Structure 1
Amino acid sequence: MTPVSPIHPDPQAPEAPGRPGVPPTWTSSAKDAVTGALGGGRVRAAVGFGVVNEVYWPSSGDPQVRDLTFLVGTPDGWVDVKRDCIYILTPCEDGPLIGVEHRLADDPTFRLRLEIMPSIENDSLLIDYALEGGGTLYALLAPHLADCGQNNTAWVQDGMLYATRDDAALALSCSGGFGAMSAGFVGVSDGWQDFHQHGGMTWQYARAEGGNVALTGELKESRGTLAMAFARHAGGAAIHARGSLQRPYPQQRAEFLKAWQTWTGRLRLPAGGDEERARARLSAQVIRVHEGSDFSGAIVASLSVPFGQAHSDLGGYHLVWPRDMVEAATGLLAAGQPHDTLRSLNYLLACQSPDGHWPQNLYPNGEPYWSGDQLDETAFVLLLMGKLRELGLDTALRPEALTWAARRAAGYLARNGPVSQEDRWEENSGVTAYTLGLMIAALVAAGPWLDAEEADYALALADDWNARLDGWCYVTGDDAPLAGQYGVDGYYIRIAPQAGPQPGRQEVPLANTAGLKVQAGALVSLDFGYLVRVGLRRADDRRILDTLKVVDGELRYDSPAGPLYYRYQHDGYGNTADGGPYLGQGIGRAWPLLAGERGHLALLAGESPQPYIDAMLHSSGPGGLFPEQVWDAPPTRRFQPGKPAGSAMPLVWAHAEYLKLLWAREHGQPYEALRAVQERYLAGKPVPQIRFWRTDAPAFELPAGLALRVEDTRPFTLHCGFGAADAWDSVQERGAQAGVFGLWRVEFTAQELSNQSALNFTRRFEDGWEGRDHRVVLRG
């Protein structure tokens, strides 16, 4: 057998003019559908505006293509399929086989039918096509190899189209062969510019090196199959492309659907109407597509780059956010796919940092992207572990692995809480009911994997934080400027920058705005709802109900689709007033995801969640995908009220929320809630025994009967005394003792504090005095 040699472009071929082309961008993040194979093939792809845009390989975190669209040459002119045609999506219940039909409004004979699916055994995307009504079809491909539109090189050779950049290569082949072929630079010498200037394909450049490139190929036949394949070098990509076309397309189609039918057949869809169940099936499939094949279990947030048409940034949403991923894995668990959930947990355990936390986000290969620390993400993994344990599914993983992960994660939360460097929206540091509630539940969930001393500590810390949560996150009186407007005593705020008294008077700087700062007491969100969902508060708790009144008044948008919700007042993340893309500052739009969160609270309070379920259903895109945000202004040429606003679509988190809301409606309880948490805080209501004093969570008063533990992550000596602030009586020094989870502590028992009025102290560390005094008033 003759070995296959790598393919090299002809250095003598004519070079396309216009290097490097216009600055590259990604394409719109509003997708119609997503697809991926269950098998050996590692390609994932999205379709938007009826054409392939963004193709991922070898993992769901590695985009390699901006888009592949079509032009049609006719005796009367030419057609840009993406711009000139009306398209209809053809749904497929059995799996993510994407069918699209393009039509021309003024020519009833014109039809371009596309069917798009990845190969189950080759690293290639198959596009089966059929053109009716005459004309010649041309494929127009824009590679963005290795996650970048710069420094790509494209060429034509031996009847195929090629591109390469760094260690990624692409080959495009056609079952019927190409006629004319060309490689050019986008905006100067690409195929679209050729048609725009000359009405047809007149350029046939053999090579475009080192820029933003595009490839054009004339399809000899009006029916056939394209194979877009990937490998580390051009020769390997050619093998995948040829291999994909050597097998009959109908046979590959049947195999693709059979694998998905088997997977979909294992779903346990929640009860509901036909439309609800169909969307539940689609939601589960969408989540599964976002798990790539290269790193088993890794689920990215979306196969899209938000507002990608306006920038060329790396990352986008094709990254693993541990929070979003746990939400997605939990959604699949609720839909009856425990093996998928276990794969995801296995992946997360393998990605845990040595200190116990999970990165803010990361590529599927484990490489961190952003460097922020969001404590809810670490807490979420512990909650997923706890859920699997309660269901008896944790035995699928080695006990030692679970124990090691739980001890490190619980220790990280203990050392770093209750203040999180970032909230769940990745915009502010501080204390939120959302993150703190998840951490409290996570410390309880970790208990079975901890030793006795660690478990006692974790529960005591959780009890203390739960008792102090309202003091940090709930406002009344002068701290609650919205209370009078809505006739309530108080409400939970979005965030308090510090864990201290009078949280509503603290000032919150808002991201994505022109430096706007707002009083914390004037900012609300639906984030507090997780206090109910994880089992810390009852849905009929007056504080919960009062906060809902304020949230409904401040954040509800009654769209044509139904009630949807904003993240918080003055949100600046969203497209601009005229619908332009977000470029660092915009207008926050309403989120279908939050309609799902509001629906949970309605259900748990004994109301119908149906308006919120319907709102999610009706705010989706043409292919049934849930968008990140919807348009909330008068209709424009591009946007309609209550429909996708051009941000990320699909948002995997929203599809998981929908699955869990349907499950909750059927079972009358939230899927996230752990029995251990509910029994402790809703049934048992433990009385805290210890107040934990930290630098970023000081205690200014200590109720009678509580011990006081002063803690730090470094050794210290406590210089302390009792009495008035300016007269320390019985001054003494106590050396901190090493405790669990790497914390050092000095503890005062409730008995020795019982006859004192106040404790004054400061600390001396190895590098000197901390430079300030602290005072805790002791309540008898």
Structure 2
Amino acid sequence: MQASGAPGTHPTWTSSDKDLVGCSLAAGRLWFTTAFGILNEVYSPRIDLPQIRDLGFIVADGQGFWVEVKRLESYRTLVPQVGVPAIEIVHAHPRFELRLRIAPDPQREVLLIDVSLQGDDTLRPYALLAPHLGGTGYDNLAEVGTHGGRRMLWAEQGPFGLALAAVDRSQCDAWGAASAGYVGASDGWQDFDRHGRLTWEFDTAGPGTVALIGALPRAATLALGLAASRESAATLAVAALCQPFDAAWAAHVGAWQAWHQQVQQPAGLPPALAEQLATSAMVLRVHQDKNFVGAMVASLSVPWGNSNDNIGGYHLVWPRDLVESAGALLALGAVPEARDVLRYLVATQLAAGNWSQNQWLGGKPFWQGCQLDEAAFPVLLAAALAERDALDGIEVAAMIQRALAFIASNGPASQQDRWEEDAGINAFTLATCIAAFVCGAPWLAEPASSWALRIADDWNSRIEEWTAVQDTALARAHGVAGYYVRIAPPVDTDGLRHLERVLAIKNQIRDPGLPAEDQVATDFLHLVRMGLRDPGDPLVVDTLKVADALLRVETPAGPAWHRYVGDGYGEHDDGSPFDGAGRGRAWPLLSGERGHYELAAGHDPLPYLQAMASMVGRCGLIPEQVWDEPTSPRPWLALGKPTGSAMPLVWAHAEFVKLAASRGLGRPFDRPEALWRRYGGRRPAPAEALWSPRAPISQMRAGQALWLCLPRAARVHYGMNGWQGVTDSDTAENGLGQHVLALPASSLAAGMRIDFTCFWLDSGSWEGEDHRIDVF
């Protein structure tokens, strides 16, 4: 019989506030998440493909009493060992105790759940399953059927199938009454809500947003199989049930225990932090795909997923997050896995030399933005492996040349900063790109190699010119001379920054209309971490004072920071989910970044490691954000504890691992050695000045050489002091996608100037604009 109420309510995912994430270390291509005491999204056969919304349980007596256990909010979790992703969940109620043990089948795309109900003998458990096959809650088909004589709850959508099988302790088919329905209309939860018991037994539902329910004995084992069809999924599920659950559990736990023996632990970590490092190592390992080796998603979660059906969520690859995670793998001694990341990045580089803002595992772009730091990070990973003599024959020269050419041609302003919002010049992005030029130069042939260093020196010398302000109202209010801004608008052709202009904040309900000079972020700390500026530099110290006053949050766990002034990426004031706007909350990740600064400044970063380790969920997962107000508008929000943002955030776990490793080394683990040798925290004073349409200058020092860096081949028409002694010269390609020409300016004295314009050789047309650079 077909259920009524098609197509069901608008589907959503579950909350991203996870308790645990896990996978098998063997061949099984399945990843699982738990939260609120039940199973949440399960991903298969790739880590970017969630196939269910959740699998929960109702306990009922058939006479009107019933409880959905995830709403009890009275459960405890146990793991066999810290850092082992197998979980026992115990739900407590005055009438019963429901015990669930969850572990994957090591070899198959099957998740096993052992169910045990104790207490009132009149009660029995019911499994409630919400398919989201193919990564969506739409157009799913659900059915109560049979496979090989066994009853199944199964579902299909396109090329994906699901089967939920059950056996009792005698290995007999365990399903009792069962039903398929449309969510919000005829699903099992609605049946219990209206009748206090399971009265509907619909055979099929769909296409639409569907759910399945089935009665179980008080002790049973479930097998959730995922495959290319429901029959294939059922075969996998039945095969997995042919072994005792305890055997699968022991094999899974033993494999993870053996894996942890290979993980490098930094010396001197207190026991609690050593346990957190084991959890963070596990999180990094779990988020690796088994099909596209080297790919890692940002999180097995959908931020505020219980309010939307976003098909992307965080189960996508961000090149920045991926390289940050690869750095943590190096810190853990997982060098082969870090190499796999580099190979994956080489394979997914775009023709222009950059990488997608984020992408599905196979390389198909999801969002369409461009962030220059994401073009630079893969170069830094190659250099980090090379520093350890661990490239193992990977050919990276072509990748590096294309990446640096992209940065040279498009920088220093980025279409988006690392927070994926405004265009402009950002200190974090600049530091990463400068590092990439220096670290990548040895792989380049001449003249590209020299030009990579020339651009690095020029950009490094101009960081303050581009991204810092002095004597503003904000500076005076905080008693400092100046500070680095969050993002500076791109420099115009006269070399002006226009920091008084409003810089839009895109995730606010109402843009506060703040000028760029009033927006401060923590991104400037990366200048110290990379070795470009000394931690005691007066401008760094002043910016630290302003950032702490505006962005720091004190919590019972320790300090955390907002990303930037006016951030709106977080829950609303009433605790409701971020919905395209909200109020940005505090990030544990930024506590780790501050710890790296403190280490560079000669202080022990232990308090920041402890803060991060105290902002975790039940099983040690580090969230993207924590609640930042002393009062809570919702019961689940508490100061310094996870919000509905992504949890775990793999980048945050990577930051914890790297900070622990940095503490052991006495310096930032990911500071490139080549960068430190070249700059040592000191701002360079290059003998050459570079002009380009994207980084123009209006002045240069007397005695400096002058290079024009143009996007196209040109004949440059130039003269001195008001077009005297006019000369024409052609540019030459510099190996990084630019066409360059040295103008004879080094002999000009202060007060003189050089004028020029360009004739484009490819189009045979004049640029139509004159340029002037004054010498001082």
Both proteins in one fold, TM over 0.5: yes
1:518 Cα shift?
1.4
For the pair 1:50 / 2:37, whether they are aligned, the reply is yes
Structure 2 residue matching 1:71: 3-state secondary structure: strand
Instruction: State the distance in 2 between where 1:22 and 1:465 align.
Output: 54
- Contact conserved, 1:422 with 1:428, CA < 8 A, in 2? yes
1:704 Cα shift?
2.1
Partner in structure 2 of residue 3 of structure 1: none
For the pair 1:332 / 2:304, whether they are aligned, the reply is no
Partner in structure 1 of residue 568 of structure 2: 572
For the pair 1:659 / 2:623, whether they are aligned, the reply is no
Q: Percent identity among equivalent residues?
A: 43
Partner in structure 2 of residue 353 of structure 1: 350
Partner in structure 2 of residue 311 of structure 1: 308
> Which structure 2 residues correspond to residues 339-378 of structure 1 after superposition, within 5 A?
339-378=336-375
- Contact conserved, 1:471 with 1:501, CA < 8 A, in 2? no
Structure 2 residue matching 1:379: 3-state secondary structure: helix
- Contact conserved, 2:152 with 2:165, CA < 8 A, in 1? yes
Instruction: State the distance in 2 between where 1:737 and 1:449 align.
Output: 21
Instruction: State the distance in 2 between where 1:686 and 1:211 align.
Output: 62
Partner in structure 1 of residue 549 of structure 2: 553
For the pair 1:62 / 2:60, whether they are aligned, the reply is no
1:603 Cα shift?
2.0
Instruction: State the distance in 2 between where 1:764 and 1:187 align.
Output: 67
Partner in structure 1 of residue 467 of structure 2: 473
Partner in structure 2 of residue 720 of structure 1: 718
Instruction: State the distance in 1 between where 2:681 and 2:573 align.
Output: 49
Partner in structure 2 of residue 459 of structure 1: 453
For the pair 1:494 / 2:486, whether they are aligned, the reply is yes
State the one-letter code of the partner of 1:703.
R
> Which structure 2 residues correspond to residues 10-409 of structure 1 after superposition, within 5 A?
14-74=1-61, 75=63, 77-91=65-79, 92-93=81-82, 95-104=84-93, 106-107=94-95, 110-133=96-119, 134=121, 135-158=123-146, 159-176=151-168, 177-219=174-216, 221-270=217-266, 271-394=268-391, 396-398=392-394, 401-409=395-403
- For 1:349-382, what per-residue CA distance to the aligned partner results, in whole angstroms no more than 9, with x for missing partners? 1111122111110111221111111110111111
- Contact conserved, 1:447 with 1:458, CA < 8 A, in 2? yes
1:764 Cα shift?
3.0
Instruction: State the distance in 1 between where 2:191 and 2:207 align.
Output: 20
Instruction: State the distance in 2 between where 1:592 and 1:599 align.
Output: 11
For the pair 1:739 / 2:725, whether they are aligned, the reply is no
- Contact conserved, 2:532 with 2:683, CA < 8 A, in 1? no
State the one-letter code of the partner of 1:60.
I
Contiguous gaps of at least 5 residues in structure 1? 1-13
- For 1:74-95, what per-residue CA distance to the aligned partner results, in whole angstroms no more than 9, with x for missing partners? 2560111111251111133252
Higher deviation after alignment, 239-248 or 759-768: 759-768
Structure 2 residue matching 1:544: 3-state secondary structure: helix
Q: 1:606–1:684: structure 2 CA closer, same or farther, 3 Å change rule?
A: closer
Structure 1 residue matching 2:503: 3-state secondary structure: strand
Instruction: State the distance in 2 between where 1:303 and 1:165 align.
Output: 21
1:458 Cα shift?
0.5
Instruction: State the distance in 2 between where 1:538 and 1:117 align.
Output: 49
State the one-letter code of the partner of 1:411.
A
State the one-letter code of the partner of 2:672.
L
Structure 2 residue matching 1:102: 3-state secondary structure: strand
Partner in structure 2 of residue 9 of structure 1: none
Structure 2 residue matching 1:516: 3-state secondary structure: coil
- For 1:94-114, what per-residue CA distance to the aligned partner results, in whole angstroms no more than 9, with x for missing partners? 52112211111x34xx11111
State the one-letter code of the partner of 2:420.
E
Instruction: State the distance in 2 between where 1:128 and 1:421 align.
Output: 50
Taking structure 2 as the reference length, the TM-score comes to 0.95
Match of 2:588 among 586, 589, 592: 592
Instruction: State the distance in 2 between where 1:553 and 1:341 align.
Output: 38
- Contact conserved, 1:44 with 1:292, CA < 8 A, in 2? no
Instruction: State the distance in 1 between where 2:7 and 2:640 align.
Output: 40
Match of 2:475 among 476, 483, 488: 483
Structure 2 residue matching 1:527: 3-state secondary structure: coil
State the one-letter code of the partner of 2:313.
G
Instruction: State the distance in 2 between where 1:772 and 1:204 align.
Output: 77
State the one-letter code of the partner of 1:112.
L
Structure 2 residue matching 1:761: 3-state secondary structure: strand
For the pair 1:643 / 2:641, whether they are aligned, the reply is yes
- For 1:108-139, what per-residue CA distance to the aligned partner results, in whole angstroms no more than 9, with x for missing partners? xx111111122211011111221111311110
Match of 1:512 among 499, 507, 513: 507
Taking structure 1 as the reference length, the TM-score comes to 0.94
Instruction: State the distance in 1 between where 2:38 and 2:704 align.
Output: 65
- For 1:662-709, what per-residue CA distance to the aligned partner results, in whole angstroms no more than 9, with x for missing partners? 112222100111111101001786542332211121011111222222
Instruction: State the distance in 1 between where 2:160 and 2:278 align.
Output: 34
Q: 1:507–1:764: structure 2 CA closer, same or farther, 3 Å change rule?
A: farther
Contiguous gaps of at least 5 residues in structure 2? 169-173
Instruction: State the distance in 1 between where 2:420 and 2:22 align.
Output: 29
- For 1:709-732, what per-residue CA distance to the aligned partner results, in whole angstroms no more than 9, with x for missing partners? 222222223232222xxx432333
Instruction: State the distance in 2 between where 1:435 and 1:286 align.
Output: 26
Partner in structure 2 of residue 701 of structure 1: 699
Instruction: State the distance in 2 between where 1:605 and 1:73 align.
Output: 60
> Which structure 2 residues correspond to residues 531-550 of structure 1 after superposition, within 5 A?
531-550=527-546
- Contact conserved, 1:718 with 1:734, CA < 8 A, in 2? yes
Structure 1 residue matching 2:112: 3-state secondary structure: strand
1:502 Cα shift?
4.9
1:754 Cα shift?
5.2
For the pair 1:775 / 2:775, whether they are aligned, the reply is no
- Contact conserved, 2:410 with 2:694, CA < 8 A, in 1? no
Instruction: State the distance in 1 between where 2:668 and 2:575 align.
Output: 36
- Contact conserved, 1:418 with 1:697, CA < 8 A, in 2? yes
Structure 1 residue matching 2:223: 3-state secondary structure: strand
Structure 2 residue matching 1:283: 3-state secondary structure: helix
Instruction: State the distance in 1 between where 2:46 and 2:724 align.
Output: 65
Match of 2:415 among 414, 417, 421: 421
- Contact conserved, 1:46 with 1:303, CA < 8 A, in 2? yes
1:303 Cα shift?
0.5
Instruction: State the distance in 2 between where 1:746 and 1:331 align.
Output: 42
State the one-letter code of the partner of 1:289.
V
- For 1:309-357, what per-residue CA distance to the aligned partner results, in whole angstroms no more than 9, with x for missing partners? 1111110100010101111111121122212211212211111112211
Partner in structure 2 of residue 438 of structure 1: 432
Instruction: State the distance in 2 between where 1:237 and 1:749 align.
Output: 73
Match of 1:748 among 737, 743, 755: 743
Instruction: State the distance in 1 between where 2:682 and 2:606 align.
Output: 32
Higher deviation after alignment, 164-173 or 727-736: 727-736
Instruction: State the distance in 2 between where 1:50 and 1:714 align.
Output: 60
Partner in structure 2 of residue 563 of structure 1: 559
Instruction: State the distance in 1 between where 2:754 and 2:741 align.
Output: 13
- Contact conserved, 2:585 with 2:625, CA < 8 A, in 1? yes
Partner in structure 1 of residue 676 of structure 2: 678
Instruction: State the distance in 2 between where 1:127 and 1:685 align.
Output: 59
- For 1:625-667, what per-residue CA distance to the aligned partner results, in whole angstroms no more than 9, with x for missing partners? 1111111221232211111121111111111111111112222
Instruction: State the distance in 2 between where 1:750 and 1:175 align.
Output: 84
- Contact conserved, 2:460 with 2:684, CA < 8 A, in 1? no
